Amino acid sequence: MTASRGPTRAAARDWTRRRTAKRERLEAVRPFVSGRVLDAGRMRDALHALLRPGDRVALEGDNQKQADFLAGALADCDPDVVHDLHLLISSISLREHLDVFERGVARRLDFAYAGPQSVRMAQLLADGTVDVGAIHTYVELYARMFVDLTPDVALLCAEQADHEGNLYTGPGTEDTPTIAEAAAFRGGVVLVQVNRLVDRVPRVDIPGDWVDLVVESPRPYALEPLFTRDPRHIGQVDILMAMLALRGIYERHGVTTLNHGIGYDTAAIELILPTYGERLGLRGKICRHWTLNPHPTLIPAIESGWVESVHCFGGEPGTERYVAARPDVFFTGPDGSLRSNRVLCQLAGQYAVDMFIGSSLQIDADANSSTVTEGRLTGFGGAPNMGHDPHGRRHASPAWLSLLTGEAPALRGRKLVVQITQTFRSGGTPAFVESLDAVQVAEDAGMPIPPIMIYGDDVSHVVTEEGVAYLHKATSLADRREALAAVAGATPIGSHMKERHVEALRRDGLVALPEDLGVDVRAAKRSLLAARSVEDLVAWSGGLYDPPARFRTW
Amino acid sequence: MTASRGPTRAAARDWTRRRTAKRERLEAVRPFVSGRVLDAGRMRDALHALLRPGDRVALEGDNQKQADFLAGALADCDPDVVHDLHLLISSISLREHLDVFERGVARRLDFAYAGPQSVRMAQLLADGTVDVGAIHTYVELYARMFVDLTPDVALLCAEQADHEGNLYTGPGTEDTPTIAEAAAFRGGVVLVQVNRLVDRVPRVDIPGDWVDLVVESPRPYALEPLFTRDPRHIGQVDILMAMLALRGIYERHGVTTLNHGIGYDTAAIELILPTYGERLGLRGKICRHWTLNPHPTLIPAIESGWVESVHCFGGEPGTERYVAARPDVFFTGPDGSLRSNRVLCQLAGQYAVDMFIGSSLQIDADANSSTVTEGRLTGFGGAPNMGHDPHGRRHASPAWLSLLTGEAPALRGRKLVVQITQTFRSGGTPAFVESLDAVQVAEDAGMPIPPIMIYGDDVSHVVTEEGVAYLHKATSLADRREALAAVAGATPIGSHMKERHVEALRRDGLVALPEDLGVDVRAAKRSLLAARSVEDLVAWSGGLYDPPARFRTW
């Protein structure tokens, strides 16, 4: 090799270490395996053989479905054998997810969301039991699996597998294909718990090529009906906010493509489309294409012909038969059932829809918001990804262009990022606060920056029962704060507002009160809801929707 | 149904129209099909039977591989039978992609990039022959396929298929799985041209479930070696810029995760890592995890132990054996060959890496840049997605935090978005201009906003042979413009700069000249390149790299 070819290479390097390690791991579990099928009764032994201290392990804890059998086996491992694992879990949902840390099996954690375990999560962080790498938005965590956080082992879950490892995820595809791809193609071991081993899966969602081991779990995997909102709990204030949002934002900006969060406020919007929306003549003009899970509260709008398409992050228990009967609207497979995919739906929710609307627990004077409150480390989920203006977007739409921003030649539209909340939550807690609890949490936990879910400068609109604030129209920070304060009611942020300031903001179009939008506050009644109970939703679905037992009252 | 359940539903609606239409289409092509296999000799007839006027058709034209057989058959269709198609093509690369419009087969186009056909594209747009929906960044176009642009038919390409439709895409996976998923799960027909029909594919990249029809193409699909840069064409100015970038950005910010564009300037950076970078003691400290195609110019850095991982958008002809022999670095399948995936790599390039660096044809005084120049409608490709600060990012890294931005509590880091360019291009054309040609093009074509590739406010650094401008440190728009002008040399943007202004900017750290960075301009010689020719790259690879014929000079 000539000098120009640089320094002589060091002694021949081994470039197949990951592959070799994988072969050794699979060799070590052979006593517990027949073909690709692991003996469920030997799960703990198999993990002892499979895992090495310090391994990076992706444990499937999705927004809804959970690899709970594997999580339990992991939590049960002997910390003398398996320790110092680095876990990647998108949603910390099970007790076992944190047991592994308390038992010393795992040490480091990268995650996205910790709703059901948020209090304990905060404690373990404070105690130093968990060493948190970072809190991510979902897709950011998957993205890192292809860069600096590639898993050594992936512990996943699916509905069914055949003996060649072909997987059927069923309606709740969620994160499984993405995590499997990251592990399978870089020398990681992919182990999947399935509800059933079958001779032939109804459809192949993940090729057997990508799967090393499957195990039939003694119980079907845990699955939460996170997106079911009982219309009985939707109150008049939610309905008023829904009316304000519909007239002040959806109609005004002509929002045809959108994502909805899971609150009662957005459920109210879904439920007044066939009534209030219909009377406004908005069918076909707004809300045509959606990215969201199959919300039962969307059924009346679908049945009334409002909805052309819905792409889903995951499924929703009870909607299986309904979705399968509506293939023109939902993405479904050759077997007839829903095909969801979190990474692609998050991509669609980031780049292809014009509006994100959701709630937060706390909003400050600059419209920064967070669900991290004192003693709770909730994380972010998908909100940061969908709740910001993606600067990489280049296609125009009327709604996007209606928020024209920037100076020529860098003129561009902007995504509608809407925060919707009552000024006070149940128990009289103000939603608008001087300082987010997240600031203190960050300080206590030694985080480099406060865990803010949606940054204020990404928020274009705020809706409360007082009215709509058009923050995107503010030309100064002061105006922006005033517009927000004008809809913040009697909270610490809103209470100082003078009436004449509000008048000026209304004149300038920065704030709209109900009367400015032609919304009759007295009409905000539950009779406006197309369905007032889960039973009504079942009726709308023609009996196709089967609500989970906890939502049945009849 | 009670009143609360809303208006009575209209006459029972058919919810399976897409599925029915699909069945009818497949029925219509039956004369040309055996099993799932189409007769290549009857391709035109088959398309006549399959397609309906006005169909939305995703035609696979990727950055590298092309469904060229299907594109040719489509261009050959009778416009009396097939007309007014709406095409989705991520990269307009073939003559046939535009022939379909001239022949009246297609009318509307949504796309992302039009490099090789950019001149003709501009003409057809001006003539009104093509009705452009929008120019997208890659992932944005895929995202819309799950929202408002779901394909009725997808015309794709792959390396091999078996008789059940299982596909092997080979190293160049690129866009195929994503488009197939969008079409297959919403009643679209998926038709794939393959180089070879086989009894068993080496690995399943796309399950046969998702594929309706396959056809063995008479020729292997067209594939461009887009990412091969011959080191012979790297000049001293490129090397100087590479040294400045390495010291002024990579070393200063500790950039460990990154994406590189395909220019000679970034190729120079790759090639001085094992020489200049090694002498600076930077191995292991920077450039550890990459998202990019298998650039041949990265081989010396890989062989010298700089690179821990590379995730790829697509493959690169000639690198197959090399990549297969380096599975610790590259993502490879159970068959040993590369697994790429554009959508996941773009996601990684957006959210998981700390730096994007690339060139543009024109940059204005505010650092807005575009590759759209007069008479050329190039489009965007992946740059807008990776070349912006993703506001959805929540994980911290030292490089990201080193660009701390925002006001408390909304403090956050920022992605490094670097533009690298010589002040003048070949032929003496200035890279820095008063007004981007894109502004005029937008006006002429009636676009709603100018096609800007990277917005100035997203750019953190600009590197030229003059030095490095740290735009992210500017606190005013005026400072920002001055810092940019200070490195813009004798172009219309740079020529007005006074020396004392530059001194002040250097003092404030907004600009660094070579001497400020400890870069000896005289050392910028070709001897610094670890490889000075394609032959050298082959030697570095131990003979594993097989350059395409056009790059062979020996």
pLDDT values of chain A reduced to their tens digit, one per residue, 554 residues: 344 444 445 557 899 999 999 999 999 999 999 999 999 999 999 999 999 999 999 999 999 999 999 999 999 999 999 999 999 999 999 999 999 999 999 999 999 999 889 999 989 988 999 999 999 999 999 999 999 999 999 999 999 999 999 999 999 999 999 999 999 999 999 999 999 999 999 999 999 999 999 999 999 999 999 999 999 999 999 999 999 999 999 999 999 999 998 999 999 999 999 999 999 999 999 999 999 999 999 999 999 999 999 999 999 999 999 999 999 999 999 999 999 999 999 999 999 999 999 988 899 999 999 988 778 888 899 999 999 999 999 999 999 999 999 888 899 999 999 999 999 998 899 999 999 999 988 888 888 889 999 999 999 999 999 999 999 999 999 999 999 999 999 999 999 888 889 999 999 999 999 999 999 999 999 999 999 999 999 999 999 999 999 999 77
Cα distances from B188 to residues A481, B165, B183, B224, B461, in angstroms, run 48, 15, 4, 28, 44
- A203–B207 C-beta distance less than 8 A: yes
Same domain, B206 and B289: no
For residue A388, list chain B residues with Cβ-Cβ distance below 8 A.
Answer: 390-392
* Residue whose entry in the numeric block shows the structure tokens 């794939």: B192
The neighbouring-strand residues paired with B85 are B106
CA terminus-to-terminus distance, chain B: 82
Average pLDDT, consecutive stretches of 10 residues, N- to C-terminus, chain B (554 residues) = 45 90 98 98 98 98 96 98 98 96 97 91 91 95 98 98 97 96 98 98 97 98 95 97 98 98 95 98 98 98 98 98 98 96 98 95 94 83 96 97 91 97 93 93 85 95 98 96 97 91 96 98 98 98 97 85
The neighbouring-strand residues paired with B405 are B412
Residue of A nearest to B12 (CA): A303
Cα distances from A184 to residues B290, B338, B339, in angstroms, run 18, 12, 10
| Cβ-contact B367, B477 below 8 angstroms | no
Q: How far is A78 from chain B (nearest CA, A)?
A: 30
Choose among B325, B366, B410: nearest Cβ to A366: B410
* A441 found inside a domain: yes
* B76 found inside a domain: yes
Cα distances from A284 to residues A257, A277, A302, A305, in angstroms, run 11, 10, 12, 8
- B144–A348 C-beta distance less than 8 A: yes
Q: Fill in the DSSP letter of residue A432.
A: B
Q: Containing H/E element for A135?
A: strand A131-135
For residue A289, list chain B residues with Cβ-Cβ distance below 8 A.
Answer: 147-148
- B401–A341 C-beta distance less than 8 A: no
| Cβ-contact A487, A464 below 8 angstroms | yes
SS in 3 state form for A387-424? Answer: CCCCCCCCCCCHHHHCCCECCCCCCECCCEEEEECCCE
As given in the structure block, the two tokens for residue B195 are 């180089």
pLDDT at A9: 55
For residue A529, list chain B residues with Cβ-Cβ distance below 8 A.
Answer: 4
| Cβ-contact A88, A141 below 8 angstroms | yes
* B273 found inside a domain: yes
Among A137, A449, A526, the residue to mutate for chain B (most B Cβ within 10 A): A449
Going by C-alpha positions, the residue among B209, B180, B207, B181 that lies closest to residue B192 is: B180
CB-based burial label for A254 (10 Å; 0-12, 13-18, 19+): middle
State which residues form the domain around B241.
Answer: 231-538
Going by C-alpha positions, the residue among A261, A52, A88, A290 that lies closest to residue A178 is: A88
* B3 found inside a domain: no
Going by C-alpha positions, the residue among A422, A342, A420, A421 that lies closest to residue A385 is: A342
* A323 found inside a domain: yes
Q: What's the one-letter identity of residue B335?
A: D
Same domain, B274 and B212: no
Q: How far is B85 from chain A (nearest CA, A)?
A: 20
CB-based burial label for A543 (10 Å; 0-12, 13-18, 19+): exposed
Same domain, B188 and B263: no
Last residue of a domain, one of A179, A198, A223: A223
Task: Return the exposure string of B284-308: e unless at least 16 CB atoms fall within 10 Å of the residue's CB, then b.
Answer: eebbbbbbbbbbbbbbbbbbbebbb
Last residue of a domain, one of B223, B253, B274: B223
Q: Which stretches does DSSP call E strand in B183-264?
A: 189-197, 213-216, 222-223, 257-260
Same domain, B35 and B183: yes
Same domain, B213 and B244: no
SS in 3 state form for B96-147? Answer: HHHHHHHCCCEEEEEEEECHHHHHHHHHHHHHCCCEEEEECEHHHHHHHHCC
- Residues sharing a CB contact under 8 Å with residue B94, sequence separation 6 or more, in sequence order: B61, B66, B68, B71, B116, B117, B222
pLDDT at A11: 54
Among B190, B391, B411, the residue to mutate for chain A (most A Cβ within 10 A): B391
Count of structural domains within chain B: 2
* B416 found inside a domain: yes
Going by C-alpha positions, the residue among B266, B270, B263, B261 that lies closest to residue B292 is: B261
Residue of B nearest to A256 (CA): B148
- B204–A209 C-beta distance less than 8 A: yes
* Cα–Cα distance measured from residue A316 to residue A224, given in angstroms and rounded to the nearest whole number: 8
CATH label of the domain that carries residue B296: 3.40.1080.10
pLDDT at B550: 93
Q: Could you please report the per-residue DSSP string of B371-390?
A: S--TT---B-BTHHHHSS--
For residue A527, list chain B residues with Cβ-Cβ distance below 8 A.
Answer: 3-4
- A380–B144 C-beta distance less than 8 A: no
Among B166, B347, B368, the residue to mutate for chain A (most A Cβ within 10 A): B347
Same domain, B264 and B243: yes
As given in the structure block, the two tokens for residue A551 are 């939502």
Please write the tens of the pLDDT for every residue from B65-76.
Answer: 999 999 999 999
Going by C-alpha positions, the residue among B393, B298, B184, B127 that lies closest to residue A205 is: B184
For residue B334, list chain A residues with Cβ-Cβ distance below 8 A.
Answer: 184, 209
Same domain, A50 and A193: yes
Going by C-alpha positions, the residue among B272, B266, B276 that lies closest to residue B355 is: B266
| Cβ-contact B486, B196 below 8 angstroms | no
Same domain, B342 and B373: yes
- B326–A147 C-beta distance less than 8 A: no
* Cα–Cα distance measured from residue A366 to residue A512, given in angstroms and rounded to the nearest whole number: 19
Q: Fill in the DSSP letter of residue B493.
A: T
Q: What's the one-letter identity of residue B209?
A: D
| Cβ-contact B254, B399 below 8 angstroms | yes
* A105 found inside a domain: yes
Choose among B2, B452, B532: nearest Cβ to A409: B452
CB-based burial label for A11 (10 Å; 0-12, 13-18, 19+): exposed
| Cβ-contact B108, B371 below 8 angstroms | no
Q: Which stretches does DSSP call E strand in A425-486?
A: 461-464, 467-470
Hey, what's the torsion of the CAs at B114, B120, B124, B125, to 10 degrees?
50
Cα distances from A105 to residues A47, A81, A97, A121, B533, in angstroms, run 11, 9, 11, 16, 51
For residue A203, list chain B residues with Cβ-Cβ distance below 8 A.
Answer: 207, 209
Q: Could you please report the per-residue DSSP string of A10-52?
A: PS---S-HHHHHHHHHHHHTGGGEETTEEPGGGHHHHHHHH--
The neighbour count for residue A80, using CB atoms within 10 Å, is 9
Same domain, B115 and B239: no
Going by C-alpha positions, the residue among B84, B91, B95 that lies closest to residue B141 is: B91
Among A110, A146, A335, the residue to mutate for chain B (most B Cβ within 10 A): A146
* Cα–Cα distance measured from residue A464 to residue B229, given in angstroms and rounded to the nearest whole number: 56
For residue B528, list chain A residues with Cβ-Cβ distance below 8 A.
Answer: none
Interface size, chain A vs chain B, as Cβ–Cβ contacts under 8 Å: 359
- Residues sharing a CB contact under 8 Å with residue A23, sequence separation 6 or more, in sequence order: none
Q: Fill in the DSSP letter of residue A274.
A: I
Same domain, B217 and B240: no
Last residue of a domain, one of B173, B201, B223: B223
| Cβ-contact A256, A397 below 8 angstroms | yes
| Cβ-contact B455, B388 below 8 angstroms | yes
* Cα–Cα distance measured from residue B487 to residue B468, given in angstroms and rounded to the nearest whole number: 7
Same domain, B235 and B119: no
* Cα–Cα distance measured from residue B338 to residue B295, given in angstroms and rounded to the nearest whole number: 13
Cα distances from B367 to residues B363, B413, B420, B433, in angstroms, run 5, 20, 11, 10
For residue B5, list chain A residues with Cβ-Cβ distance below 8 A.
Answer: 300, 530-531, 536, 539-540
For residue B17, list chain A residues with Cβ-Cβ distance below 8 A.
Answer: 328
Please write the tens of the pLDDT for every residue from B485-533.
Answer: 999 999 999 998 888 899 999 999 999 999 999 999 999 999 999 999 9
The neighbouring-strand residues paired with B424 are B430
Same domain, B107 and B240: no
Cα distances from B313 to residues A425, B65, B330, B355, B381, in angstroms, run 46, 12, 12, 16, 12
* Residue whose entry in the numeric block shows the structure tokens 């800007």: B452
* B262 found inside a domain: yes
- A339–B187 C-beta distance less than 8 A: no
Q: How far is A76 from chain B (nearest CA, A)?
A: 30
